[in-house]
Structure formats: C-alpha cells, structure tokens
Structure 1
C-alpha cells in the first residue's frame, strides 16, 4: 500500500551543533502537533525518508525540531531546503481531494466548481469558479453544511449577500 503524504513544512536552517533544524510551517497541522513522533523529509513525497523528531521550541514563525538521526550540524545542513511531510490517515480528507467538487446551496442551486482552498489566518476560504467569476466563501460550519464524497459535492448555506460580491 502506498503511503499518502501531505506537505506541512520546509527545513530552512540548521541550528546548533547537535543536528537541530528550524522548520517553516506550510500547514496549520504542524502547529497543532508539536510533539510529532516522526516526519518524512525529502524533495518530494516519493523521495522522502522517515526521520524521528522531537519538538524543541518555537521562535517567531519558525519551529525548532531535533532530528534524532542527525548527530551533528552537517547532517542538519544536508536537510536545509527539504520539505517536511506527514502521513495522512485513510479516513482523512485533504483540501486537494475536494478540488473539482460541485458547490451547491442547501436549496440545490449550483454555484460553481471548487477550484482552490486558501489557508488564511482565521480559517480556510473556498475559491469557487462560477464560470463567470471567482467567489470566495469562508469555510466555516455556519456556511459549509456538508461535504458529500459520493456525489463529489459541497453543500453550503449562503448567508444573505454572500454570493452577490
């Protein structure tokens, strides 16, 4: 079985003499689980290798991790520029899995096709292509009512004025 990996960060710097690295988060997941037991690190998911890790500290936007396989700074420097991946459980749906889904209202009116999911500081935003324009809709429980994997559709409750922009 092929493992499914998602990019969550990038190694940007070697720190100290014992192989620590600083990681720039590319996904909110990495903030939620600082004590991740392991990550896959590499140029791509296909080339990524498993590395056991320990969270050390946060410094601004960067996270410092100890990579247990690294014994010195040179080992850490070899990882600079590499991407950090996490495994995705089989039952977890990723944003990229939803691209192309039909977006409809709770009344069944089609709005358009989901073209992207944007990560913003407060929440994610759905980018919907109507064929004529792009509509941005906050991905919050008050609006997104259901994601139907079988019919590949997203059902939303468009609050007044949401679609008129």
Structure 2
C-alpha cells in the first residue's frame, strides 16, 4: 500500500528543481540525498526518481531529482504525488502520532458508541489536519484536535468524536 509523503506543487527555477508540499513527519529521511521516491502522476502512471538535493524554501521543500534536468521536464511533474510503500515506514514511537493510512477506514463514533460514519482520509491544510468523514454519504471535515477527537484506537478500528454542536449536522 502506498502512502503520500509529498505533492509536487510547481517547477522552481530553470534547472529542474521542484517545490514540494511535504506530507510526512520525517522529511529528512524521505528526502535525503540518494533516497528513491515514486511519483504518481495524474494519469495514474508511476515513475521512480532519485533525490539529488533538497532544501527548505518559503514553507516548502525544493527538491532536485537526478532524472529531472530541465524546467520543461519538471513542469510535466506538476501536481504529482510522491508516494512511499507503507512497509518501508518506520514504526511511530509516540502513541499520539499516526500515519494517514492508519486512520483511513476507521469507524467514527461518539463517546456513547453511536457510529456516525467512517474516516475517508486525513486532509492537510495550512491551519492543521482535518479528518474527512463519510457521514451518511456526506463529506464532513472534522478538525483533528484532541478536544474533538479525544480517542484514536487504530487496533480497535475506531476514532471517538466529541464534536461541538452542529459539526456533524447536514
């Protein structure tokens, strides 16, 4: 199973450098020189690339790949997802830290056990993480903060919600 570790936002400069929105808590590991990443293009095709250089710039990571030498080639990768195989991810040592793929599919329930939906994905926004829930066929975004999501039980297949009034309403 693949997990997204970044998204290519745009080409940067004329030598094939790319601005990447990071989606991993360990960018120093995922984007170290010599590391291989797989790009998943919009058409569904995949391509493996090797990190030649990476540096922070204006809230993004600027990455140069050995196989991307010009801006024209870099432009073809705009919007591509950078993915890693979940089998290669190190285990998390913090009990309050989770990989996105561990949360997708979990049952969303209230403290009294009432099932309200399921987690579709984790949405990363500038303001913080949100859980996208499927609630009776509707998309509901829930801030992924302890006050609203006090319990994450991956082994039990559930997240427990304590939503403010109206958050889950249609």
Q: TM-score range by the shorter chain?
A: 0.5 to 0.7
Alignment of 1:33 with 2:27, yes or no, is yes
- RMSD over aligned Cα atoms: 3.6
Change (3 A) 1:152 1:118: same
Cα shift at 1:85:
2.2
> How many Å separate the matches in 1 of 2:76 and 2:5?
13
Partner of 2:118: 113
1:86-118 deviations in Å (ceiling 9; x for gaps)? 535153654344333211122222222223433
Match of 2:154 in 1: 149
Normalised by the length of structure 2, the TM-score is 0.65
Mapped to 2, the partners of 1:121 and 1:141 lie a distance apart of 18
Q: Identify the range of structure 1 (85-94 vs 97-106) with the bigger mean alpha-carbon deviation.
A: 85-94
* 1:33-52 alignment runs, 5 A limit: 33=27, 36-37=31-32, 38-43=35-40, 47-52=46-51
Q: 1:13 to 1:156 in 2, by over 3 A?
A: same
Q: How many correspondences in the alignment?
A: 155
TM-score when normalising by structure 1: 0.66
| Rounded Cα–Cα distance in structure 2 between residues aligned with 1:102 and 1:90 | 25
Query: Which shifted more, 153-162 or 84-93?
Result: 84-93
1:137 aligned partner: 142
Match of 1:12, SS? Answer: strand
Indicate the structure (1 or 2) with the bigger Cα radius of gyration.
Answer: 1
